[in-house]
Each structure stands twice: as C-alpha cells, then as structure tokens.
Amino acid sequence: MLVALVILIAECQATAQTNPPLYIYSTIDALLAGTYDGDLTIRELGAKGNFGIGTYNRLDGELLALDGVFYHALANGSVVVAGPQEKTPLAYVTWFHPTQSFSPENSLPLPEFDKWLDAHLKNLNLFYAIRIDGTFRDVSVRAIEPQSKPYKELASIVKTQSIHDYPTTRGTLIGLRSPAFSNGISVPGYHWHYLTDDHLHGGHVLKLILIKGNVRVETISAIDLQLPKNDAFANADQTKDRTSEIKLVEGK
C-alpha cells in the first residue's frame, strides 16, 4: 500500500514536471477594452515561465520570452531586452519543455501553416506552446506606440500600428495555440510573435512564409490564471463578445 502510494506520488510529480501550466496574466478582453496597465513586473513574470508572449504597460510594443530572456519589441521595429521592473498588462508564459517536433517538407505561408500544424496536434481542445527556429520570407510584424491616458479601446488604435517587413530572415517564432473555448481570456487559434536570429528585430506577426524550420511543440493541459486586482481591470467592460475585434487586432 505504501509502495503504491509512493509510486502514485512519484507519477504525480513526474506529470507536473513534464507538463507545466500556462501562466496567464489578465485577459485578452481586458486588453481589447483598453486596460493597458498591469501590476506584474517582468521579474515576477519570469518566475512563471521562460517562454511566451504578451505586451508591456501602456501597450508599448510586444513581449517575447525566449530561453528565459524577456524581449521588448518596440514600435520602431527594434528589439531590446526588457528591464526587470517593466510591467505587463497581459502575458502568457510557460516553462517550455517540447514533447513533439516536426519539420514541414514544403514552404508554407501562415494561414496554410496553421492548418498544417492543426493536423499534427492531437487535441485541439488543449493549449500548445510552439517554437519554430528557421528561415522565413516576407515577414510582416507590427508593434504599437505606447498609449497615453485616457486609453482608447484597442480596435480603435490598431490602425496606428507600425509595420516592419523583412524579405528573408532567420529567426524564431514564439507561438501559442489556444482552444476556441478560451475566447475572452486568450486569442483562439494561433498567436505568433517573431524574433530575428540576432535578437534585434521582431514583433507581433501579421504574415510570413515559413521556408524551412524545426517546429517544437509543448502540449499544455493546465492554466494558472492570475487576474489583476486593480481598478483598470475592475472597470474594463468584459461583458460583450469581442470576437470581431480580436480578428481586426490580431490581423486575421
């Protein structure tokens, strides 16, 4: 009996170790509603994972976490390493332990690549963290200038985004696939951020073609959702269906 219990505990620990949760700070609907200031620092976020995506306070550019380094993609297209005291209003991170890897045989533009990847994932009702190191063509990334109060809703300011194009580049895609039922908390489907090999350029991906690359995937079956306790989150209108706003904002 004792032996069985010990084995059970060991199995639970093994499962926990091989399947870390997705840590989520705030909700996509709060961001869409104009909640651009969070209380979570990059130092605190770094204790929750080494891989992921998000944005920074005042909606200042894009957040990319890769190998434990938190990068800040600015509206001018450049990327710097974020300071530990910078804060985020929305982030998704995990401890990246890929369990599957594949390489597409043909080059694929993004919508087709998403479908190709869907066909390789076993359970589309789970979350997936995805890392792709490779060569890309016609990459378009965006980042948004920091906003000033009073903040406007995201759909009304996304037209001011700065877009940067890279004809051919080597780099890393940092992606999250969220199931349809997570609408409101995350972006259903794929959400990609891109970082060039030299870590000097990148942002939120609007379009690209994957020429060749190594796709590594981690299946995530647990989420750790932290909701901000500040007034901005309390006052964000999260009662309406913002599906069409997500499509506009995410460039889908």
- Binding residues for Zn ion (CB under 5 A): 204
In whole angstroms, what separates CA 231 from the centre of its chain?
25
Report the nearest approach of Zn ion to the CB of residue 72 (Å): 13
Residue with Cβ nearer Zn ion (117 or 174)? 174
Residue with Cβ nearer Zn ion (100 or 140)? 140
Residue 52's nearest CA partner among 195, 156, 250, 214 is: 195
Report the nearest approach of Zn ion to the CB of residue 100 (Å): 23
Residues forming beta bridges with residue 233, ordered by sequence position = none
Q: Which amino acid is at 100?
A: Q
Residue with Cβ nearer Zn ion (21 or 203)? 203
| Residue nearest Zn ion, CB atom distance | 204
Residue with Cβ nearer Zn ion (204 or 242)? 204
Report the nearest approach of Zn ion to the CB of residue 62 (Å): 6
In whole angstroms, what separates CA 175 from the centre of its chain?
6
Report the nearest approach of Zn ion to the CB of residue 119 (Å): 24
Residues 6+ apart with CB under 8 A from 208: 109, 110, 136, 137, 138, 139, 140, 173, 192, 194
Residue with Cβ nearer Zn ion (158 or 209)? 158
